[in-house]
Amino acid sequence: MSPRSVQLGIGLILAGTMGRGIGAAERVVDEVSVSKRRGVATAEVALGCGMRYQGHRSVNDGAELAVELRFTPSCSQLLQGVYSELYIPRGRDLGTLRDVEFTSTDPGRGWLIFRFRYPAVFDVTQGANSGGLSVRIRPAGPREDQPQAGVDRSPLRLNPAAAVAAPGLFVVQLAAYREGRPNLDSLAAATNATLYETDFSVDGEQWTALRAGFFASEDAARGLLESFPPDAFPDAFVAAAASRERDQAAPLEPAGEPAMAGGSKLHPGEPSMDPERIDELMVEAEAALRDQRYGRSIQIFERVLQEPGAGHRRRARELLGVARQRNGQSAHAQAEYQAYLTEFPQGADADRVRQRLASLAAVDVIDAAPPRQVGTSGNNSSWDFFGGLAQYYRRDVNRPLAEQRSIVTQSALWSLGEFGFARRGQRFDVAGRLSGAYDYDLLQQGQARQGAGSASYAYLDVTDQELAVTARVGRQTRYRGGILGRFDGAHVSYDWREDIVFNFALGMPVDAPRYAPSTRRVFYGGSVDWNDVADAWDFSVFAQWQQVDGIADREALGAEIAYRHERWNLVGTADVDVSYGVLNSALLIGNWRISDRMTLHGRWDLQAYPFLTTRNALIGQQVTTVETLLLSYTQGQVRRLARDRTAQASNAVVGLSAALSERWQVSADINYSEFAATVASGGVAAIPASKGQLFLATSFIGSSIFKAGDTTIFTVRHNATRSSDTSTVIFDLRYPLSRGLRLSPRLALSYRDTVTGGRQWVASPNLRAIYRWRRSHRVELELGGHWSSTQQPIDTVLFLYGSDTREESSGYFLNVGYWMDFG
Amino acid sequence: MIVRWLFSALLISALGACTTVPGISSHFDEDTGLTVVALQEPVVLARAVPRLATAARDYVYLGPVRINRMGSIESYIWVGAASTLDRAAAGEAPPLAAGLVLLLDGVPMQLVLEDWQDQIAPPYRVSAPLYATRRARVATDQIARIAAAGSIQVYLTSDAGATAAYAPWHGSYGSWAQLAQDGAGAPRRTARAR
């Protein structure tokens, strides 16, 4: 058995361990499932190939989460050029999650963008396995600008009709405050000015500005400002004012109340306003509520409620609660609704207020989606259905040598389908997902033509909110708690406390979706997660036992530790096989955001390669099961074979990303890796140590260089290994041709110099076109080719004399298809 | 003859075209008859939206402007909204806003935005592609406050009250004091200064 075939075997086993690669019709984001316990939602992301978590940032005021990922080598080979896809997660309502988008514009790295309906705060963790990560979504706390039912959360747009500062209109802004209006006694002298307040929201906080106006010149306004003692209003300044501000200013009396017509001292029970004035104020307050000037509407409703009489009080009390609710003052809103029900317990309006109160009591910020309006659509079901359908045709044609004919190496139609559902109940949440594919090989003729089906997911998920228990049964994927990926079985988690979760799992590992459930390998295990320790630490420990054909396959103990800080974070994991006494994986990842323009990241890992299980004994053998191997070897010998096939690999990466200007950014990585030798045994040759391998990559990433919205990437790579040095130059472009159409041309030129004196040039042009509409439909066409010229020196080729040999090969591929999501 | 030519050249340079003093540029717009006075560079702010690329961002350029309309002087903050993002693919619109809020040492200054008049050339040159230009009319006292502030946080606000925060990218507000001093009555360093 040659070292090369052993390496191939290792590769196959790794492919099985890592799950499927990214085919043209497959997806980077394999699955995002959201579950929620005790107010904290967790999104588990299963990735189609290995990616290492680098860091994350909350953007758009917490409405988006951007998770940076760096590809493992296997992923880098599969994901080249500019790439993006959209994923609509199952159970997304639990975390108010709209969708998840994966984008990759930089070589070797990508971003997972989580978009939420409402702002939240996030914790992102990843264990030793690079095939997945989890995002915990917690309430961001009350937000004054949080939208309510019916409020459009579309991106901000200018309202051209908005009032603008009127020429020659100035005011003095005396103070701005979130609560506690300053003493107005010192303003008694300002008899020639109108005192008024304006409300506005800044970064989620409600502010009120106390102003005095209006003046025809800045000098006049400054005159008023200078008439106050210097320390009376230290933050005061003269400001230009809008004409609408003058029209809508409600003058304050020195006591701070809105000045009312005929306003005198108020006495409870005695009307101080005539009904017409009350009606006017109600109109103004409701207009302020509609305009989202909640502070002003609250102020007027409170004033109106000082007036006796059921007619206006009924409506004012309810709308005061609404205004406070929309202003983010949940406790005040609840108090107002309760006061309403005390004062007006009967009637249809009371039922509506009870519904408002109930929804307010039940809803926390993370779950603040508007309550379903029973009866409004004729459908009061809380079932949520989703799915998707995709088909791709792939054709590969290769010409191994210039003088040979072209060979069609692949011609296949890939069909993928997915269906899922989720239902939220008072106590139980139920969800399910079925995801499968069918590959139809068109190369074979007639009856020999055949296809192959596969199932990526087939599970049922039940959550008991009362017991805080969640169970998932069926084919599923998980990457935490020592579980290595896809399996058929059950996973149960129990939230003992808000910060401590117990997990139990039992199942049969599945190498790839095409495999049926098999009892040859069985595992069981458990883990304990302790999160948010001192608001900075997460801990997890696990134990797992796995058998293959009746003997121990893996007996693992491990731990994961994560620490996060505003500008940096650290993640460390360890996985030890106690039966072999081998450190299967030790990993340390760090990210440091030096500034908004510069990020430094590093990673060090020490891993058994491939991941040590007794099944590694099959590498290089003619048999395909451990059971068969046990006919020739004892259990101890089989385990020895497994140990001999497993190398120790170490890898270290240091990288830097920095913005050079508004349009250009540079990214540079240095990667050093080393593989230890394996031992010859069982008829399988040893693999020598790799010595140090160095990978250098630098990318210049431009935005809006040729056209607004485009992305341009120049990349230079150099790989130095024991057998060769390879230098590569890559040009990538994503060009927005129209609103929905994107063209992505790519050209890679590579030069390889081997230790035997050989030289190879490879050119790989590629063009990808994607047309999207309605965000959930996509049509894709990709054409690519490669030409290579290899020159070998004469002393390495037998029977040829006189000159070096030159071989040329070429090939092209076509990939065309569509993708549709629904639900 | 030479003296007359020199005098004419001096007069033209004084009345029109582009004239500058250190840190300040003054431009007489012949079409509108306005003299637009601005600083040499705006302050640049950025907002990370790593949806499409790590290098892609939204940018906001802020710069003080004084417009002299036949002796009537008005002060503005010019707001250039730019983006290197490809939002069209996602079916989204860029973050235009109805208002600009500056937190000056923790004290908010709320400004209402209006369109920059198309007939007047933008007073500042920027690097990223602009998709909108706005302005907020201000008092010179407001410009002076901005120039003197120790820390400034910048937010664009929508009509609905939602906010988008921008972080400093390049430039400082300290030089704004030059226009504030002019507007507050100090000798104007405009074309007449030449």
**Residue A750: per-residue pLDDT:** 95
| ipTM of the complex in this document | 0.81
Chain A residues 527-586 with a CB less than 8 Å from chain B: none
Which of B54, B57, B74 is the mutation pick for testing A, counting most A CBs within 10 A? Answer: B54
Q: How far is Cα of residue A355 from the mean position of the Cα atoms in its chain?
A: 34
Concatenated DSSP letters for B80-96?
EEEE----GGGT-----
pLDDT band of A147, cuts 50, 70, 90: very low
Average pLDDT for chain A: 78
Task: Give the one of B56, B156, B169 whose C-beta lies nearest to A156's C-beta.
Answer: B156
d(CA A650, CA A594): 27
Q: For the sheet containing A165-177, what is the strand order?
A: A194-202, A205-215, A165-177, A237-242
Task: Give the one of B46, B136, B160 whose C-beta lies nearest to A147's C-beta.
Answer: B160
Chain A partners of B45 at a C-beta cutoff of 8 Å? none
Percent of chain A with pLDDT over 90: 33
Chain B partners of A772 at a C-beta cutoff of 8 Å? 89
Q: Chain A closest CA to B19's CA: distance in Å?
A: 27
Which of B41, B73, B83, B86 is the mutation pick for testing A, counting most A CBs within 10 A? Answer: B86
pTM, to two decimals: 0.65
Q: How many CB pairs under 8 A join A and B?
A: 232
pLDDT band of A788, cuts 50, 70, 90: very high
Which of A218, A710, A734 is the mutation pick for testing B, counting most B CBs within 10 A? Answer: A218
d(CA A107, CA A81): 7
Are B110 and A198 inside 8 Å of each other by CB?
yes
Over residues A71-119, the pLDDT tens digits come to 776 676 666 555 666 676 654 444 567 778 777 756 677 778 887 766 6
**Residue A155: per-residue pLDDT:** 29
Q: Is A200 on the interface with B (CB under 8 A)?
A: yes
d(CA A1, CA A505): 38
Which of A157, A170, A207 is the mutation pick for testing B, counting most B CBs within 10 A? Answer: A157
Nearest residue of chain A to residue B159 (CA atoms): A159
Chain B partners of A221 at a C-beta cutoff of 8 Å? 139
Chain B partners of A170 at a C-beta cutoff of 8 Å? 139
How buried is residue A183: exposed, middle or buried, by Cβ count under 10 Å (0-12/13-18/19+)?
A: exposed
Q: Which run of H or E residues covers position A636?
A: helix A635-645
More confident residue, A45 or A295: A45
Task: Give the one of A176, A240, A740 whose C-beta lies nearest to B107's C-beta.
Answer: A176
Q: Is A173 on the interface with B (CB under 8 A)?
A: yes
The answer to whether residue A542 scores a pLDDT higher than 60 is yes
Phi-psi region of A627 (alpha: psi -120 to 50; beta: other; left: phi over 0): alpha
More confident residue, A377 or A287: A287
Over residues B131-142, the pLDDT tens digits come to 888 999 999 999
Rounded mean pLDDT of A286-297? 76
d(CA B192, CA B194): 5
More confident residue, A522 or A594: A522
d(CA A728, CA B153): 43
Percent of chain A with pLDDT over 70: 77
Nearest residue of chain B to residue A105 (CA atoms): B53
The answer to whether residue A661 scores a pLDDT higher than 80 is yes
Chain B partners of A155 at a C-beta cutoff of 8 Å? 92-96
- A768: nearest Cα among A80, A11, A266, A30: A80
Q: Is A408 on the interface with B (CB under 8 A)?
A: no
Using 70 as the pLDDT threshold, list the residues of chain B that sit under it: 1-22, 50-55, 89-91, 96, 118, 159-162, 182-194
CA distances from A335 to A225, A308, A326, A332, B169 (A): 40, 19, 14, 5, 45
Are B108 and A202 inside 8 Å of each other by CB?
yes
d(CA A44, CA A477): 9
Chain A partners of B127 at a C-beta cutoff of 8 Å? 661-663
d(CA B64, CA B75): 7
Nearest residue of chain A to residue B133 (CA atoms): A158
**Residue A60: per-residue pLDDT:** 56
Rounded mean pLDDT of A259-274? 42
d(CA A716, CA A718): 7
Q: Is A239 on the interface with B (CB under 8 A)?
A: yes
Nearest residue of chain B to residue A705 (CA atoms): B84
Q: Is B131 on the interface with A (CB under 8 A)?
A: yes
**Residue A578: per-residue pLDDT:** 96
Rounded mean pLDDT of A759-775? 90
pLDDT band of A257, cuts 50, 70, 90: very low
> Whose structure tokens read 């640049």?
B44
Q: Are A473 and A488 in contact (CB under 8 A)?
A: no
Chain A partners of B161 at a C-beta cutoff of 8 Å? 144-145, 200-201, 292
Q: Chain B closest CA to A201's CA: distance in Å?
A: 6
Q: What is the DSSP letter of A21?
A: -
Chain A partners of B67 at a C-beta cutoff of 8 Å? none
**Residue B14: per-residue pLDDT:** 43
Are A200 and B90 inside 8 Å of each other by CB?
no
In sequence order, what are the beta bridge partners of A506? A490, A524
**Residue A366: per-residue pLDDT:** 28
Over residues A395-437, the pLDDT tens digits come to 999 998 878 888 999 899 999 998 988 887 778 889 898 999 9
d(CA A734, CA B53): 11
Q: Which run of H or E residues covers position A44?
A: strand A40-47
CA distances from A582 to A34, A556, A594 (A): 35, 10, 37
> Whose structure tokens read 């906080």?
A205
The answer to whether residue A197 scores a pLDDT higher than 60 is yes
Concatenated DSSP letters for A717-770?
EEEE-SSEEEEEEEEEEEEE-SSSEEEEEEEEEEEEEETTS-EEEEEEEEEEEE
d(CA A644, CA A379): 63
> Whose structure tokens read 């790794």?
A14
The answer to whether residue A1 scores a pLDDT higher than 50 is no
Supply the Cα-derived Rg of chain A in whole angstroms. 33
Q: Chain A closest CA to B179's CA: distance in Å?
A: 15
**Residue A368: per-residue pLDDT:** 31
Phi-psi region of A660 (alpha: psi -120 to 50; beta: other; left: phi over 0): alpha
Chain A partners of B167 at a C-beta cutoff of 8 Å? 596
Nearest residue of chain B to residue A327 (CA atoms): B161
**Residue B191: per-residue pLDDT:** 28
Q: Are A633 and A641 in contact (CB under 8 A)?
A: yes
Q: Chain B closest CA to A111's CA: distance in Å?
A: 7
Nearest residue of chain B to residue A770 (CA atoms): B89
| Residue A143: both structure tokens together | 């937000």
More confident residue, B7 or A325: A325
**Residue A607: per-residue pLDDT:** 92
Chain A partners of B156 at a C-beta cutoff of 8 Å? 156
Torsion over CA: B113, B118, B123, B128 (sign)? positive
What does the angle CA A395 – CA A400 – CA A401 come to, to the nearest 5 degrees? 140
Are B161 and A292 inside 8 Å of each other by CB?
yes
pLDDT band of A322, cuts 50, 70, 90: confident
Q: Is B85 on the interface with A (CB under 8 A)?
A: yes
More confident residue, A810 or A56: A810
Chain B partners of A167 at a C-beta cutoff of 8 Å? 74, 137
The answer to whether residue A627 scores a pLDDT higher than 90 is yes
Q: Are A690 and A715 in contact (CB under 8 A)?
A: no
| Residue A238: both structure tokens together | 């003269």
Are B112 and A292 inside 8 Å of each other by CB?
no
Rounded mean pLDDT of A254-273? 41
**Residue B31: per-residue pLDDT:** 75
Are A164 and B112 inside 8 Å of each other by CB?
yes
Give the number of residues written for chain B. Answer: 194
Q: Is A165 on the interface with B (CB under 8 A)?
A: yes
Task: Give the one of A111, A163, A662 whose C-beta lies nearest to B59's C-beta.
Answer: A662
Nearest residue of chain B to residue A69 (CA atoms): B54
pLDDT band of A497, cuts 50, 70, 90: confident
Indicate the Cα dihedral angle A316, A321, A322, A326, nearest 10°: 140
Long-range Cβ pairs for the range B14-23 (8 Å, 24+): B14/B191, B14/B192, B14/B194, B15/B191, B16/B191, B19/B190, B19/B191, B19/B194, B21/B189, B21/B193, B21/B194, B23/B175, B23/B178
- Secondary structure in 3-state letters for A589-625: EEEEEEECCEEEEEEEEEEEECCCCHHHHHCCCCCCC
Q: Is A54 on the interface with B (CB under 8 A)?
A: no
Over residues A341-396, the pLDDT tens digits come to 877 777 767 777 877 776 665 443 323 333 333 333 334 446 888 888 999 999 99
